[in-house]
Amino acid sequence: MKLRLKLHIKGRVQGVGFRPFIYNLAKKHNLCGFVFNDPSGVTVEAEGEKDNLKYFLRSLKELAPKISYVDKIDKEIIPLKSEKIFFIANSYISKDKFVFISPDISICDDCLRELFSYDNRRHLYPFINCTNCGPRYTIIKDIPYDRSRTTMNTFKMCSECFSEYRDVRDRRFHAQPNACFNCGPSMNLVNRNNKLSSHIEREDVEDILIKASELLYRGNILAVKGIGGYHLCCDAKNKEAVRKLREIKNRPTKPFALMVSNIDILKKICFMSKKEIEVVNSIRRPIVILRIKIYKDWMKDIALHQKFLGVMLPYTPLHYLLFFYLRKIMPEPILIMTSANYKDSPLIAKEEEIFKLKEVSYFLIHNRGIYARCDDSISRVYNRKEIILRKARGYIPDFFEFPTKKRILGCGAELKSTFSLTKNNYLITSPYLGDLKNYATYTFFKNTLQHFKKIFSFDAEVVAYDCHPNYLSTQYALGLNDVVKIPIQHHYAHMASCILENRVEEKVIGVIFDGIGFGLDGNVWGGEFFVGDLNNFTRLAYFDYFGLVGGDKAVEEPFRVAFYILYFLFGEDMFKLNIEFIKQFNYEISLPFIYLVRGKHYVYTSSVGRLFDAVSSLLRVKDRVSYEAEAAILLEMLSYKCRERKLNSYPFEIVKERGYYKIKWQNLFKEIVEDLLKGVDKAKIGFKFHYSLATIVRKTCQTIRDAYGIRKVVISGGVFQNFLLFKLVTKFLKDSDFQVYYNCRFPTNDENISVGQVAIANARLGGS
Ligand code: ZN
Ligand code: ZN
Ligand code: FE
């Protein structure tokens, strides 16, 4: 019996080889009909024997192209039309455009094979790609996704490329960035004064890469243009090169991400589970945080005192070529690949900007334009699940199903800025944009938002933003006209992002440990226990307030918090304490501080991030930081060295005062000082501090469960990037019969704020 089916397929099905896939599948199963792109996905009409249709449908789900993502298929039976053939019909374009733009995808195995095949016409061609791989998001200027609306529009396909492009049986059918030596982008190794020629031959590529790898071998820094922007690159094992790179980046201690040529070399330096291998190797190619196997001497310069390395595999043809030539002169090349930018400014993607980096002399550039900049992403694995820590290249744009009738924009926070918007029942998040503290990043924020508004034809009716009056994201929101404006408390937004991501329906306990965020009482929050859902929340418990002497300065100088706590606990007797921390201050030097503390020249905070700082400084691990959370990170690393696992918590109290449970940390710190006086191993003190915080979380959640009967806990906030604390807290809660939820898809740091803002604003407006 013959049937005709009309299918409407939603999801990431455009620009990913979906139509040729359908076409070939239909032919295989002897069907007639057609397929075309429509504004929200792909429409198929297929007609044939009932059984054939059944197999067609089954394969459609099972064999869909790797980078596609089928969200939903609507089916209906319609009258027969009995065409002779199956064909690809013209795209249907409407004004209200909405398509699932694909993220940028690492080079596929087929292209990689061709890249290194002597007889292939693209042998060594650095911009080889196909329907299954290559740049997408970063080259798209507008939609529908056609070459004319990408940065490839300046290159005219040669006849050979065009015939591949038109041939539905070809892997490059409708591959918009399709190119070859004859017609595509070219590259060159230049110093500031050279120009890029518009054409490149195979021999040129060899010359260029031989020179580039020699430069790296000799310890030079190379600026390398990638998919989403420029990297600064050097030999990771060359001490002098790494020192120079640190100077250029004005980055004295922060660990660098590495690129390693293949999985086998990676296995030699890091431990990897099956899941970690899968994530490192995935088509998204994030930087993955892996545990170091043997701490080699050269790692000191890359990641001093670290237990983990951030590592990625090559993901563009150019990376593979570079390693291919490097291997001829170095046995196991490992490169630092760090984003090229000026301090606190966004990633550089344009030649005129990269040439301004005075200390860099060599540039591996090309002329395929980067329209939307995008940093490398960072992930780690826990419990066989990928946890995204920074979401950008390979993951963006991200579409999260989110039924709503409103067009909502969430503006995010300040550090680790992102925005989120709603469209056609999806929540779409921007890439990580950087720290929104200066004009350059603010411009990047506004331009990226403008771009998203255009490609998703979005225009906000509702805007949600952080309560902090000084955030540039808040000021942006307040400057908008004719929109409903909804301010949202920072830590509540953290909690909401986690509720939404895990689709928790009931009320939850929210444990939000964070750096700093604007609290509803005007103090700086950051050690919070809430109860609530997306509709509202109540603050039930928090860490007893302490002084942040010098406000933001205290974030850069953790010793200020330690000093406050000691003065608070011991008064001027603190100078009699025979501990290393005190030896750096004599009474005279300390007078200005004492004056500030006595005069209460500080803001109050409950921030757990700052408590980490205080302990780190008390232990003389770090007094001043050169990057965000450095003191806390080094304390975590030190704590891993503690061999004892059977410990007790430091003492603490949970006291009910004026309707709140306050977590009294005073005795905890007194005991830490006692341990220091006794000369207890610092690694043990550090570990015991982590252990105590996890115990505090368990005890406080139990107290709340007893009063409210809630046993679902969401944990979120920047402090949970601390993997040791994260593991202890989830374990303690699970062992005490709580159901624990955490962020995987929306990073637990401030990247998730815009997501939470949208979720809460939507609920406040009556939900979907
Ligand atoms: Zn490919
Ligand atoms: Zn060509
Ligand atoms: Fe935060």
Answer yes or no: are the C-beta atoms of 107 and 53 closer than 8 Å: no
Residue 94 pLDDT greater than 70, yes or no: no
Tens digit of each residue's pLDDT (9 = 90 or more) over 51-62: 999 999 999 988
Residue 95 pLDDT greater than 70, yes or no: no
CA of 338 to the centre of ligand 2 (A): 32
Query: Where does the pLDDT of residue 296 fall: very low under 50, low under 70, confident under 90, or very high at 90 and above?
Result: very high
CA of 285 to the centre of ligand 2 (A): 27
pLDDT of 551: 84
CA-to-CA dists, residue 519 to 324, 409, 524, 719, angstroms: 53, 22, 5, 17
CA of 112 to the centre of ligand 1 (A): 7
Report strand pairing: 187-190 vs 362-366.
antiparallel
Tokens 């005129």 sit on residue: 352
CA of 132 to the centre of ligand 2 (A): 18
Alpha-carbon Rg for the chain, nearest whole angstrom, is 28
Answer yes or no: are the C-beta atoms of 226 and 338 closer than 8 Å: no
Residue 737 pLDDT greater than 90, yes or no: yes
CA of 748 to the centre of ligand 3 (A): 8
CA of 454 to the centre of ligand 3 (A): 29
Ligand nearest, relative to CA of residue 316: 1
Cα angle at 369 between 367 and 371, to 5 degrees? 170
Tell me the mean pLDDT in the region 123-129: 98
CA of 13 to the centre of ligand 2 (A): 25
Residue of 197 and 395 predicted with greater confidence = 395
CA of 323 to the centre of ligand 1 (A): 19
Query: Where does the pLDDT of residue 591 fall: very low under 50, low under 70, confident under 90, or very high at 90 and above?
Result: confident
Residue 471: both structure tokens together: 């955030």
Answer yes or no: are the C-beta atoms of 11 and 71 closer than 8 Å: yes
Q: In this structure, which amino acid lies at residue 655?
A: V
Tens digit of each residue's pLDDT (9 = 90 or more) over 738-751: 999 999 999 999 99
Cα of 360 vs its chain's centroid, Å: 27
Query: Where does the pLDDT of residue 438 fall: very low under 50, low under 70, confident under 90, or very high at 90 and above?
Result: confident
CA of 201 to the centre of ligand 2 (A): 12
Tell me the mean pLDDT in the region 669-687: 97
Ligand nearest, relative to CA of residue 516: 3
Tens digit of each residue's pLDDT (9 = 90 or more) over 310-329: 999 999 999 999 999 999 99
Tens digit of each residue's pLDDT (9 = 90 or more) over 370-388: 999 999 999 999 999 999 9
Cα angle at 742 between 406 and 435, to 5 degrees? 70
Ligand nearest, relative to CA of residue 471: 3
Nearest to 249 by CA among 223, 227, 229, 228: 223
Tens digit of each residue's pLDDT (9 = 90 or more) over 500-544: 999 999 999 999 999 999 999 999 999 999 999 999 999 999 999
Tell me the mean pLDDT in the region 547-553: 90
Residue 768 pLDDT greater than 70, yes or no: no
Tens digit of each residue's pLDDT (9 = 90 or more) over 200-254: 999 999 999 999 999 999 999 999 999 999 999 999 999 999 999 999 999 999 9
pLDDT of 13: 87
Tell me the mean pLDDT in the region 702-721: 98
CA of 28 to the centre of ligand 2 (A): 30
Nearest to 758 by CA among 474, 388, 406: 406
CA of 157 to the centre of ligand 2 (A): 5
Provide the angle, in degrees to the nearest 10, between the axes of the packed helices 559-570 and 608-618: 80
pLDDT of 592: 85
CA of 106 to the centre of ligand 1 (A): 8
Ligand nearest, relative to CA of residue 514: 3
CA of 212 to the centre of ligand 2 (A): 25
CA of 131 to the centre of ligand 1 (A): 6
CA torsion, ordered 714, 716, 722, 725, to nearest 10 deg = -30
